[in-house]
């Protein structure tokens, strides 16, 4: 599981580093007021970006266990780790209702 966790972390770093460049190239490509040659050059650069730079390649995983299913979107923990941490009181601002 650690291998998958490290792999996901490296993909997240690639996505973060490419995100602004990708946004700029897309806006240049879609702008019809710019010369066609420049637009095609931007499209060519956009195609040559690494495929791991897509946000859809990133998988949500638990920080502690690396489990990819049943994750809480606010805390990035799996369901089981979230319950364990909530019961022990390690998540600030969260109390179990009685």
Q: What is the dihedral of CA 7, 11, 13, 15, to 10 degrees?
A: -170
Q: How confident is the model at residue 41 (pLDDT cuts 50, 70, 90)?
A: very high
Residue 54: both structure tokens together: 């897509």
User: What ranges do the domains of the chain cover?
Assistant: 1-59, 61-98
Residue with the bigger pLDDT between 50 and 91: it is 50
Looking up tokens 């650069």, which residue turns up? 45
Which stretch of 7-16, 56-65, 89-98 has the lowest confidence by average pLDDT?
89-98
Instruction: Provide CATH code, domain 1-59.
Output: 1.10.287.1480
pLDDT at 98 over 80: no
Contact criterion met (CB below 8 Å) for 26 and 46 = yes
How far CA 19 is from CA of 16, 38, 44, 60, 67, in Å, comes to 5, 20, 16, 18, 26
pTM of the model: 0.67
Helix (H) or strand (E) holding 85: helix 79-88
Fold classified for 61-98: 30s Ribosomal Protein S14; Chain N (4.10.830)
Same fold, 1-59 and 61-98: no
């Amino acid at each position: 599981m650690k291998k998958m966790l490290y792999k996901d972390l490296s993909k997240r770093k690639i996505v973060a580093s490419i995100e602004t460049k990708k946004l700029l190239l897309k806006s240049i490509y879609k702008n019809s007021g710019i010369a066609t040659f420049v637009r095609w050059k931007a499209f060519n650069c956009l195609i040559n970006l690494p495929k791991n730079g897509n946000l859809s390649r990133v998988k949500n995983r638990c920080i502690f266990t690396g489990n990819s299913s049943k994750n809480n979107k606010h805390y990035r923990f799996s369901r089981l780790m979230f319950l364990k941490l909530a019961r022990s009181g390690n998540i600030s601002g969260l109390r179990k209702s009685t």
